[in-house]
Amino acid sequence: MALEKMARVDQRQSLTVVEIAKRAGCSIATVSRVLNRPETVAIGLRGRILRIVDELGYVPNGSARALRSSRSRLIGLIVPTLDSAIFTRMLEGLESRLAPAGASLVYSATGYDLDREIRVVRNLIEKGVDGIVLVGTCHRKETLKLLREHKVRFAVTYALSEDDSIPSMGFDNRSGGALAANYLADLGHKNLAVIAGVTRENDRASGRLEGFLAMAERRGIDRSSIVVVESPYEFSRGRAAAKIILDQNRHVSAIFCGSDVLAVGALHGCKDAGLRVPQDISMIGFDNLDIAEYLTPGLTTVDVPARVMGEQAANYFLADRNSLDIYSRVELETRLIVRESTAPARDRQ
Amino acid sequence: MALEKMARVDQRQSLTVVEIAKRAGCSIATVSRVLNRPETVAIGLRGRILRIVDELGYVPNGSARALRSSRSRLIGLIVPTLDSAIFTRMLEGLESRLAPAGASLVYSATGYDLDREIRVVRNLIEKGVDGIVLVGTCHRKETLKLLREHKVRFAVTYALSEDDSIPSMGFDNRSGGALAANYLADLGHKNLAVIAGVTRENDRASGRLEGFLAMAERRGIDRSSIVVVESPYEFSRGRAAAKIILDQNRHVSAIFCGSDVLAVGALHGCKDAGLRVPQDISMIGFDNLDIAEYLTPGLTTVDVPARVMGEQAANYFLADRNSLDIYSRVELETRLIVRESTAPARDRQ
DNA sequence: TCGATTTATGAAAAGGTTTACATCGAGAAC
DNA sequence: GTTCTCGATGTAAACCTTTTCATAAATCGA
């Protein structure tokens, strides 16, 4: 009797495919087949096994599964940070597609540090992820080397890779910046300023800035006349940057911000300086965060298809080897969303 | 020669502990030891092995490791959504502590659906996570059963569990609501309204509402006089809710919102109705999102220690069995952050 | 110097699954 | 009726670690 009890305890300890097979009177191979490709098992036996699985509450051991099949159903997501809601939107897009397929998302942050990115990638590879989503095209050689040597599927988002061998689902940051410059030029603004993100080792921030400057020039605005300040994507930094710009250049009539977060801060910076938006100064953001619409004034901004990027990336990782090419490059568009923070330039001294 | 080449290809295919051992002239056990408890291996041999590991770029196979040691270094995070930045803050807190310990975060969303939560939990257990972070105290029995049967460490956040056997790191939502009611009473407001989150199967939303109503009553405001509207946490819903409230009750002088997201919307709803905040109507939010400070007017709100909850949860999951109790319950405080969206009640007809 | 204790290393099993290959039976083709 | 195919199932190896136990060497106390 004591023995029986112990046996029962033993069973409880871990419920494996062996126990299921025993109860169903079949081999463990068949149980495995039912779990993975049910159509290959005769309907009767299949039903019996499924019922037992359900009754006993059997949950397969993912580690064993991953070890043997070398597929973990884990997708790594590496972003600079989630502080700014823009990456969150991509994450939600990814997860929404991954979850129904039984895949999960492993999240890691780099804090905009490319060296840290290397370590993060290594860690994710160690965890056995089937794929990794990266942000931007600028990465350390070692990062790519790791990815390639370990044959981990990966893709780049929030930008389009020039390298054809690197799958990317994103948009052209330069065009986005150009959109803003073009619109400001249309409104007759001639004295421009930019609060860019930190452009060092950040292709998105530098792309937006470069695109803005190039288009401004094309529209007849002297590039060197444009005041550029870089700052990290934080409300307070945007505010401070606006202050710096306005202190030094009272005649600036429009500011383009590399992100909506910066723009929110800059809006306050203008207020601090006693300037009204858009009457005295126009403001354009980038990202089109949900909040942009609910600011006062509503923020004119460049919309970024963040959620779609996530969904498309999911498609890519879920695709089987053959149809990989179909999903390996997705070019999306930015569009200008005009709200109340921009107005025609007033003649000012 | 052809054979040699093939052998080399074979090696490339997957670099394991065996190869490291071969090159170091030791057993695989020793390699494993160097990787896991380096201090148990003689310094010389250890160095040699480490160098080889580095040279060859060996990365341990996490699945095999997890299978054998039954620890995956994966922590699951299950939240309703990341749309609202409040959960993002916790996520960042969690990740910031987990990453240095070599652990990673697996993210899953439930969309406020407790049945979906069951499936998500099962999926995470299957992935072999070492622990699971849950939001709130309200869960299906089956969810807890799964967690217990599979002996997965778990904790509840954003609330305090009444059940002592359930670890929680959170705060009392009722007190938070009470804080708001108390302050509005202090300001002399008598005609109150609440835009609560959807309270069904949501202990946080209902706790905040209940705490608010109870405190209002204590402060001499008739509970039944308070207008309550429930809506999902979306800007547009907050706006619509405010409209409903103001249409039906022009004499309402203060609105408490169950989240800052609702408050942002409600702020707009007031503007739509031609009311000025705080001169005509006061507004209090909940969460103290970063944006709250940057709204116009700055939003008075109840601060939630989201990041700290994440950090504390990480501590709990990182703790070893013995010191588990120390971390298993962390009671945090909410505090009222007063900004410009609240003002003393004016006498109005 | 000798036995006792500790330290460093190795051999081999175990962890739970997937999958290549073998087997068996039944129906199809001739 | 015999051979072939095909579908359903079983057997056993393989995936790559960690870890227990054993062994050998080194240290220590007396």
In chain A, residues with a C-beta closer than 8 Å to the C-beta of B60 are: 126
What is the C-alpha separation between A295 and B222, in angstroms, rounded? Answer: 35
B42: DSSP letter: -
> Does A9 reside within a domain?
no
Per-residue model confidence as pLDDT tens digits over A60-69: 999 999 999 9
A16 inside 8 A of chain B by CB: no
What residue has token string 């989201």? B306
User: Which chain A residues in 52-111 sit with Cβ < 7 A of strand C?
Assistant: 58, 60-61, 64-65, 67-69
Distance B102 CA to D28 C1' (A): 40
Above 50 in pLDDT, residue A273? yes
B62 and A127 within 8 Å at the Cβ level: the answer is yes
Say yes or no: B206 and B245 in one domain.
yes
Verify that A223 and A263 share a domain, yes or no: yes
Contact residues, chain B, for A122 at CB < 8 Å: 59
| Residue A128: inside a domain | yes
User: Phi and psi for A65 in degrees, rounded to 5?
Assistant: -60, -50
B101 lies in the same domain as B85: yes
Strand C contact with B63 (CB < 7 A): no
Where residue A161 falls (left for φ over 0; alpha for ψ -120 to 50; beta otherwise) is beta
Q: Is residue A49 part of a domain?
A: yes
Is the pLDDT at A8 greater than 90, yes or no? no
Using one digit for the tens of pLDDT, what is the confidence trace for B176-206? 999 999 999 999 999 999 999 999 999 999 9
Q: Tens digits of per-residue pLDDT, A141-154? A: 999 999 999 999 99
**Domain final residue pick, B60, B86, B115:** B60
Please tell me the predicted confidence (pLDDT) of residue B347. 63
CA proximity to A317, closest of A102, A117, A150: A102
Residue A259 placed within a domain: yes
Q: CA of B53 vs C1' of D24, distance in Å?
A: 27
Whether residue A78 sits in one domain with residue A32: no
Average confidence score pLDDT of chain A: 93
The residue-averaged pLDDT of B299-303 equals: 98
Vertex B310: Cα angle to A197 and B126 (nearest 5)? 105
Which tens digits make up the pLDDT trace of B14-29?
899 999 999 999 999 9
| Tens-digit pLDDT profile for residues A65-84 | 999 999 999 999 999 999 88
Give kind and range of the element (H or E) at residue B282: strand B282-287
Query: Residue B263: in which H helix or E strand, if any?
Result: helix B260-272
Residue type, B285: G
Q: How far apart are CA A316 and CA A329, in angstroms?
A: 9
B156 phi and psi, to 5 degrees?
Answer: -110, 140
Q: In DSSP terms, which residues pair with A254 in a beta bridge? A: A192, A282
Instruction: Give the pLDDT confidence score for residue A347 in this predicted structure.
Output: 63
CA-based nearest residue to A107, from A147, A146, A72, A78: A78
Whether the per-residue pLDDT at A9 is higher than 60: the answer is no
Domain span including residue A43: 14-56
Instruction: Give yes or no: residues A265 and A310 share one domain.
Output: no
Is residue A26 domain-shared with residue A139, that is, in the same domain?
Answer: no
Are residues B238 and B119 part of one domain?
A: no
Cβ distance B92 to A99 less than 8 Å, yes or no, reads no
Instruction: Flag whether residue B152 sits within 8 Å of chain A, measured between CB atoms.
Output: no
Q: Which nucleotide does the CA of A66 lie closest to, via C1'?
A: C17
| B35 near A CB under 8 A | no
**Residues B204-253: tens digit of each pLDDT:** 999 999 999 999 999 999 999 999 999 999 999 999 999 999 998 889 99
Is residue A346 one of the residues assigned to a domain? no
Q: With an 8 Å Cβ cutoff, is A58 touching chain B?
A: no
CATH number of the domain within which B242 lies: 3.40.50.2300
Nearest residue to A301 (alpha-carbon basis) of A311, A291, A310, A309: A291
Residue A161 sits in the same domain as residue A177: no
Exposure string for B81-90, b = 16+ CB within 10 A, e = fewer: bbbbbbbbbb
pLDDT surpasses 60 at B124: yes
pLDDT at B340 over 70: yes
Q: Residue for token digits 């030094």?
A: A248
Q: How far apart are CA B68 and CA B35, in angstroms?
A: 15
Phi, psi of B132 (to 5 degrees): -135, 130
Query: What distance in Å separates the CA atoms of residue B106 and residue B97, rounded to the nearest whole number?
Result: 14
Contact of A215 with A181, CB cutoff 8 Å: yes
Out of B73, B127, B293, the one facing A74 most closely (by C-beta) is B127
- Give me the residues paired with residue B77 across strands: B107, B133
Percent with pLDDT over 70 in chain A: 95
**pLDDT of B13 higher than 80:** no
- Statement to judge: residues A179 and A218 lie in one domain: yes
pLDDT reported for residue B224: 94
Question: Does residue B345 lie within any of the structural domains?
Answer: no
| CATH number of the domain residue B33 falls in | 1.10.260.40
Residue A182 lies in a domain: yes
- Predicted confidence (pLDDT) per residue in B49-99, tens digit: 999 999 999 999 999 999 999 999 999 999 999 988 899 999 999 999 999
Q: Chain A to chain B, count of Cβ pairs less than 8 Å apart?
A: 139
In a domain, A247, yes or no: yes
What are the tens digits of pLDDT across the range B133-155? Answer: 999 999 999 999 999 999 999 99
- Band of the pLDDT at A320, cuts 50, 70, 90? confident
CA distance A255 to A277: 10
pLDDT of residue B84: 85
Looking at the fold, whether B164 and B192 belong to one and the same domain comes out as: no
* Residue B298 one-letter amino acid: G
- Helix H or strand E encompassing B193: strand B192-196
List the strands of the sheet with B192-196, edge to edge.
Answer: B227-230, B192-196, B254-257, B282-287, B300-303, B335-337
Minimum-distance nucleotide, CA of B21 to C1': C10
Shared-domain flag, residues A258 and A154: no
**B200 in A contact zone (CB under 8 Å):** no
Radius of gyration over alpha carbons of chain A, in Å? 27
Contact between A194 and A228 under an 8 Å Cβ cutoff? The reply is: yes
Question: A151 burial class (0-12, 13-18, 19+ CB within 10 angstroms)?
Answer: exposed
* H helix or E strand, kind and range, residue B3: helix B2-13
Q: Provide the CATH number for the domain around residue A23.
A: 1.10.260
Check residue B193 and give its pLDDT: 98
Q: Are residues A178 and A299 in the same domain?
A: yes
pLDDT the model gives residue A13: 60
Question: How many C-beta atoms surround the C-beta of residue A101 within 10 A?
Answer: 12
| Per-residue pLDDT at B349 | 39
Position B154 scores a pLDDT of: 97
What's the CA gap between B106 and B112, in Å, rounded? 18
Tell me, what's the pLDDT at A6? 32
Q: What average pLDDT does range A220-226 have in this prediction?
A: 95
**pLDDT tens string B246-278:** 998 889 999 999 999 999 999 999 999 999 999
Report the residue from B59, B96, B99 with minimal CB separation from A125.
B59
Structure tokens at B13: 């295919």
**pLDDT higher than 80, residue A7:** no
- Please enumerate in sequence order all residues whose Cβ is within 8 A of that of B11, keeping only pairs 6 or more positions apart, or say none: B19
| Amino acid at residue number A84 | S
Strand partners, A106: A76, B106
What would the 3-class secondary structure string for chain A be? CHHHHHHHHHHHHCCCHHHHHHHHCCCHHHHHHHHHCHHHCCHHHHHHHHHHHHHHCCCCCHHHHHHHHCCCCEEEEEECCCCCHHHHHHHHHHHHHHHHHCCEEEEEECCCCHHHHHHHHHHHHHHCCCEEEEECCCCCHHHHHHHHHCCCEEEEECCCCCCCCCCEEEECHHHHHHHHHHHHHHCCCCCEEEEECCCCCCHHHHHHHHHHHHHHHHCCCCHHHCEEEECCCCHHHHHHHHHHHHHHCCCCCEEEECCHHHHHHHHHHHHHCCCCCCCCCEEEEEECCHHHHHCCCCCEEEECCHHHHHHHHHHHHHCCHHHHHHHCEEEECCEEECCCCCCCCCCCC
How far is the C-alpha of B97 from the C-alpha of B309, rounded, in Å? Answer: 11
Total tally of structural domains belonging to chain A = 3
